[in-house]
Amino acid sequence: MFKNLSINSYISKLAVLLFTLCSCTSLETLKSSTPQGDNFQKKLFEYYKDFADNEAKNCDWLDSQHFIDKAMLIVYGHNVLPEHPDDWKIPQENKLETLAYYNELKPLIDNKYLRSTFPENLAKAQFNYDCWLEELEENWQYEAIKHCKTNFENELMLLKDKLTAHNNQIKQSTPKKTEELKEQKQVEPKAKEPFNAQEKMAKNAQEFFQFRIFFEFNSSKLTAGAKQVLNKIADKINKMPQQPEEITLNGYTDHSGKEEYNLNLSKKRATAVKNYLTTKGLDPKKIVIYAFGEADIAFNTADNTREPGSRRVEIAIID
């Protein structure tokens, strides 16, 4: 078969053949395997299996084997996490956006309510995020990159909406129980205090802020990824039957730079978001901005440390 090949060419061809046979064997083993775990893990297994099969058909043996391995981990009962952007050789201009999305996706995957109620959507979100990173590393199938990213963003938005609705339902049921308890104890109810967005934020910032966008170092310029997120937020608000009472924007920086400078930069970031949302038809009178500088950073770091995850504006829709 390799009769007329040089020794180096022969070894190269043989290596490809052996790797191909090895991958195909692993794929056949995968297809006959049964996944363990909850419905989310079982759905995720199916997505990884189909993707590995498709990559093998396109002769992308390395990525096929990678997703075979991820699917097999589910078979063995392991919890499989989404890919981390730092583990892939993706273009520099995509690193900030992919990391920001990773930080949004990870808590949703760990959320018990979403795993039990929306396993299919959660599995789609994780798979399409992984698919997006894989296609970004190859960086030539632009339609595939767009397809995976769009599917991921759609599922992410849906999951965040479902979680927000669930949390709001819990909050709405809490005052009734509190009122009943007050009546039993014959305690007069307190007068309703004026709404304070900052107090609500302090009590539960993780749930209160539904959206986050991120910025490049020392910049208040909106990235292409940030604009895409803001477009979806504006579209969501414009379609609401009743406009929200307030849209809160909190601007932040990392610990790199002087405190006074960072405070001003965080204000510029929040202002940039407000100005952009205004161009999308939102009422500027309802948009309130706060600047926190390097206070309340997203990740604990030493002073003068650059941290992409802390360079952000957090957005809350208050109805």
Q: Which structure tokens are listed for 17?
A: 């053949």
What is the reported pLDDT for 242? 87
Is the distance from CB of 232 to CB of 157 less than 8 angstroms?
yes
Distance (Å, whole) CA 284 – CA 229: 18
Is the distance from CB of 52 to CB of 29 less than 8 angstroms?
no
- In 3D space, the residue among 78, 79, 83 whose CA is nearest the CA of residue 67 turns out to be 83
What is the reported pLDDT for 198? 43
pLDDT along the chain (319 residues), means of 10: 44 44 62 91 96 87 86 89 92 90 93 96 98 93 93 94 88 55 43 44 45 86 85 89 90 86 93 95 92 71 67 86
Give the strands of the sheet with 246-251, arranged side by side.
Answer: 211-214, 312-318, 246-251, 287-291
User: Phi, psi (5° rounding) for residue 70?
Assistant: -65, -40
Is the distance from CB of 65 to CB of 27 less than 8 angstroms?
no
In our burial notation (b when 16+ CB lie closer than 10 A, e otherwise), range 85-100 reads beebebeeebebbbbb
Q: Which structure tokens are listed for 144?
A: 């595939």
Distance (Å, whole) CA 81 – CA 77: 13
Query: DSSP class of residue 79?
Result: P
- In 3D space, the residue among 266, 227, 228, 229 whose CA is nearest the CA of residue 249 turns out to be 266
Distance (Å, whole) CA 108 – CA 119: 11
User: Phi, psi (5° rounding) for residue 45?
Assistant: -55, -45
User: Number of C-alpha atoms within 13 angstroms, CB side, residue 35?
Assistant: 24
Is the distance from CB of 271 to CB of 224 less than 8 angstroms?
no
Q: Which amino acid is at 283?
A: D
Distance (Å, whole) CA 166 – CA 170: 6
User: Phi, psi (5° rounding) for residue 253?
Assistant: -130, 180
Distance (Å, whole) CA 10 – CA 2: 6
Is the distance from CB of 80 to CB of 73 less than 8 angstroms?
yes
CA distances from 127 to 52, 134, 176, 251, 305 (A): 12, 11, 40, 31, 32
What is the reported pLDDT for 305? 67
What is the reported pLDDT for 35? 92
Angle, to 10 degrees, between the axis of helix 119-138 and the axis of helix 142-184? 150
Q: What is the largest CA-CA distance in the chain?
A: 97
Q: Which structure tokens are listed for 14?
A: 């043989």
- In 3D space, the residue among 272, 257, 268 whose CA is nearest the CA of residue 306 turns out to be 257
Q: Which domains does the chain have, with CATH numbers?
A: 21-169 (no CATH), 209-318 (3.30.1330.60)
Q: Which structure tokens are listed for 6?
A: 């040089």
